[in-house]
Amino acid sequence: MNRFAKQHPFVLFVYFLSVLLVAMLVWNPVLQATALLGGACFLLLLQPGKESLRDLGFYLPFFALVVVTNPLFSHNGVTPLFFLNGNPVTLEAFLYGLAIAGLTVAALLWCRCYTAVMSSDKVLYLFGKVLPKLSLVLSMALRFLPLFKRRMRQVKSSLRAMGLYSADSYVERVRGTLRVFRGTVAWSLENAVETADAMRARGYGLPGRSHFSLFRFRAADGWLLASNLFLLALTLAGVAFGETAFRYYPRVSRLRFTPFSVAVYLAFGLLCFLPFLLEAAENLRFRRARGKIK
């Protein structure tokens, strides 16, 4: 696990909330491209290359699908590129579809990074005292997909060992896949009920119950939180003063490149790439320590 994931859960939660707030609500191509690139690089930092390539097998077709379909259904704009069945395919609609695709994929990437960094114990630490039931549901939801995939492989391997999954017919393969899926769902639902019963038996959510945690707020967490809030405040200030204003309809507007707007772009870029800066600082510190040993 990288250096960033070892930070305090509250700092991590504020960081992801800050990035997603700007990436999803500010329609500026520079900020959206920065969020998209930062999310992709962060995901590569969190998981191995093969797994990241499998994820790209979903994100890239989805991105292309949104980019292509938006100009076909939306004909707004004043700059036609060509006509299809008598309907104009405009430059503005194409760029707007590109923006929608970038925004959606960026949000998916950052949510994927969130699930990889924010484990169930961190979610329970943050919301266990205030919203115990909601925090339990969120923690179970965060671990549902990876646990579901792992159990599906286990069920599939068990059925193949029993000779129930090996078949040459396509219909039999589909039936075998449905059998695996049905068994995995039943297993997951049973585990969810057992987890809820176990938490209730331990007195989870009762008033006055003590909470043990290994998380401690350190000076490094304070510096990171302060840096995060400063960069977010600078970005939101640029948005509030119109430095990042951008329109797609009826005509694509021009980007503002003033000293203030450039500072806003740099601030959000630093915010998106904070995990890489921490990782680079940690690697540099490790190399210096190893050099002293030699």
Helix (H) or strand (E) holding 65, with range, is helix 49-73
CA triple 133-134-137, angle to 5 deg:
90
Quickly state the pLDDT bin for 62 (edges 50, 70, 90).
Answer: confident
Q: Where are the domains of the chain?
A: 4-142+218-293
Residue 202's pLDDT is what? 67
**CB–CB of 44/128 below 8 Å?**
no
pLDDT of res. 164: 63
pLDDT at 281: 78
pLDDT digits (tens, 9 = 90+) for 173-216: 777 777 777 777 777 777 777 777 776 776 666 666 666 667 88
Task: Please tell me the distance from the alpha carbon of residue 50 to that of residue 47, in angstroms, as a whole number.
Answer: 8
Question: What integer pLDDT is reported at residue 241 of this predicted model?
Answer: 92
Residues 229-257, buried b or exposed e (16+ Cβ, 10 A)?
eebbebbbebbeeebbebebeeebeeebe
The pLDDT value given to residue 266: 95
pLDDT tens, residue by residue, 105-121: 999 889 888 888 887 77
Residue 31 has pLDDT above 90, yes or no: yes
Least confident of 2-6, 12-16, 111-115, 215-219: 2-6
**pLDDT value at residue 212:** 60
Q: What is the pLDDT of residues 67-112, one digit of tens each?
A: 888 888 877 878 888 887 777 888 888 888 899 999 999 998 898 8
Residues 137, 41, 33, 98, CA torsion sign: negative
Poorest-confidence range of 60-64, 128-132, 195-199, 267-271?
128-132
Q: Is the peptide bond before 61 cis (omega within 30 degrees of 0)?
A: no
Q: What integer pLDDT is reported at residue 168 of this predicted model?
A: 63
Average pLDDT for the chain: 81
The single-letter DSSP state of residue 86 is T
Looking at residue 48, its amino acid is P
Bigger pLDDT: 256 vs 287? 256
Alpha carbons 78 and 252: distance in angstroms, whole number:
9
Better-predicted residue by pLDDT, 257 or 279: 257
What is the per-residue pLDDT for 35?
Answer: 93
pLDDT at 29: 92
φ/ψ of residue 82, rounded to 5: -160, 175
Question: What pLDDT does residue 207 have?
Answer: 67
Average pLDDT (34-52) is 82
Q: Could you report how far apart the first and last alpha carbons of the chain are, in Å? A: 26
Three-class secondary structure of residue 210 per DSSP: coil
pLDDT for residue 237 is more than 70: yes
- Give the mean model confidence (pLDDT) for residues 218-240: 92
Task: Output the pTM of the full model.
Answer: 0.76
Over 80: is that where the pLDDT of 253 sits? yes
3-class DSSP string for 150-196: HHHHHHHHHHHHCCCCCCCCHHHHHHHHHHHHHHHHHHHHHHHHHHH
Question: Predicted confidence band at 140 (pLDDT cuts at 50, 70, 90)?
Answer: low
Kindly tell me if the per-residue pLDDT of 37 is higher than 60: yes
